[in-house]
Amino acid sequence: IEGEMRRALPVVETLMSGGYEAVFVGGCVRDTWMGRKLKDIDIATSATPEQVMALFPHHIPTGLAHGTITVMLGGVAYEVTTYRKESAYEQFRRPSEVEFVTDLEADLLRRDFTINAMALRADGTLVDPFGGAADLAQGILRCVGEADARFQEDALRMVRAVRFAAEFQLRIALGTWRALRRHAHLLTHVAMERVGAEADKMMGGSDPKRAAVLFARSGLLEHTKQALPASVRDAAHRLDAAELLLSGHSDGTRGTEHTELQWLLLSISIGMPPNETENLFDALRFSTKRTSSLAAVMRMWERMKGITADGQASGTSAEADMLYRQWIEAILEEGMPAASLLIEALKAIDHKRAVPSKTSWLPAGQLEQWMKELPVTNLRDLAVKGSDLMRELRKPSGPWLGNLLKQLVHDAAYRKVENNQAALISRGIDYMRERESET
Ligand code: ATP
Ligand code: MG
């Protein structure tokens, strides 16, 4: 036992000296076997949850009903789960009640795929009754036991199959794939929240492109519970590797924005209108914050995608001017975070040399430069505050103030006025005079 697992060894050893069996299981064993970095460390034991709690003073009864206790050791949380089997599956979902058992193999038998059904003992021996290590060596993803039965028990496993196949570059075993195609329709019984969480892991994973293609080809996309936006449903039939802008396989580390970027590239490849983007991420139960920031980028894209940018060569053409204006308006409307994300997406599109259909090529570098040169992008950047204007203009607060501030941001962004207090106030006074003489 080496690496991160070594630090968890005391947990396993404490259980063992209490007279119980304890092993590492699931993802951490699989990832160790492949020489990958571990995400979290799961431990399985023959001890009941009460017995686990008695052995570890620092515990949190995270999932008591399912037999899971979180044990804290050296500031790290480890999930310790009692050996269990799942029998009473209902409605193609995982059971609400479980039955504890004392036999490790019975516990491994309830797990989804052979590569996820391996255990590692404290002495370093691998317990692998279903040939997970051999499947990994051959690059195969296979259900534990009868694939048909496993997908009927819990339909989410089909989505997980796609995720693991993409993540670890595995082929799906023929029997498993056929069962998946046969039972794809059962996905309608699974809560969108669970599907959304898996889909998010796919987009943040090592091969979002393959994940998306498999998700569509398997029939899973068509059978996702909640009515997905029309553009997504239509895409089920033409989601083709060739037109997907998503990243293909990469081993390297992925930045924090990687996942958001992939969702955007997916939305752009499909040709999703901004309001549908919002519906999709709502349906997948993303936070409102995430949903609205993704929708903001899609609105920017919608605004920009039709503008021809031939201005590149001459730099002064009417088209370049148009591009500049639309871009500044879009930034003022949707904000800098959205603008930065859109630029990342445009760079990715450039990199792929694949301009999505019905859109024009947009010069990411030029847009980025314009964005960076902007003296102000919002109220906070403005060198004058609302209170300054109220004082100087001797007017109480009212709708005029918001409008004026907005106008000043606009003017400062276009460099019609310098972003300093005196200049802004005098421009503000001019505006108010004009308005008063109009009325
Ligand atoms: P990840 O790297 O994404 O965390 P993981 O294999 O650890 O992958 P988890 O969802 O954390 O996946 O689940 C831990 C283990 O629990 C899995 O390895 C598998 O053995 C088992 N498991 C999880 N979900 C299911 C399921 N729906 N059906 C059967 N077994 C499951
Ligand atoms: Mg895990």
Domain ranges, ordered by start, for the chain: 1-138, 141-266, 287-371, 380-438
Exposure letters 329-338 (e unless 16+ CB within 10 A, then b): ebbbebbeeb
Ligand 1, atom nearest to 26 Cα: 18
For the CA of 160, the nearest ligand: 1
Å from CA of 268 to ligand 2 middle? 31
Among protein residues, the one whose CA lies closest to atom 9 of ligand 1: 27
The number of the ligand nearest the C-alpha atom of 115 reads 1
- Going from the first residue of the chain to its last (439 residues), give the mean pLDDT of each consecutive group of 10, the final group possibly shorter: 91 98 97 92 97 96 92 94 83 76 96 98 97 98 97 97 98 98 95 93 94 92 74 68 77 82 91 88 93 96 81 63 93 96 93 79 93 95 95 93 95 96 95 84
Ligand 1 atom with minimal separation from the 163 CA: 3
Q: What DSSP string describes 346-412?
A: HHHHHHHT-PPTT-----HHHHHHHHHH-S-SSGGG-SS-HHHHHHHHT--SSHHHHHHHHHHHHHH
> Ligand 1 centroid to 151 CA: how many Å?
14
| Best residue for ligand 1 mutational test, from 33, 112, 135 (most atoms within 8 Å of Cβ) | 112
* CB-ligand 1 contact for 107 (6 Å cutoff): no
- Cα distance between residue 26 and residue 31, in whole Å: 9
Q: Cβ(39) to ligand 1 under 6 A?
A: yes
User: 52 is written with which tokens?
Assistant: 């686990």
**156 Cβ below 6 A of ligand 1:** yes
Determine if ligand 1 sits within 6 Å of the CB of residue 116: yes
Residue 316: the pLDDT is: 60
The highest-level CATH class for domain 141-266 is: mainly alpha
Pocket residue to mutate for ligand 1, from 39, 84, 86, 116, most atoms within 8 A of Cβ? 116
* 3.40.30.10, 3.40.50.150, 1.10.357.10, 3.30.460.10: CATH of 1-138: 3.30.460.10
Residue 30 CA, ligand 1 centroid: distance in Å:
11
Q: What residue spans of 110-171 are helical by DSSP H?
A: 132-138, 147-153, 156-167
> For residue 86, which atom of ligand 1 is closest to its CA?
29
Q: Is the minimum distance from the CB of 95 to ligand 1 under 6 angstroms?
A: no
Cβ atoms within 10 Å, residue 240: 12
CA of 36, nearest ligand number: 1
**ipTM rounded to 2 decimals:** 0.98
380-438: CATH, from 3.40.50, 2.40.50, 2.60.40, 1.10.246: 1.10.246
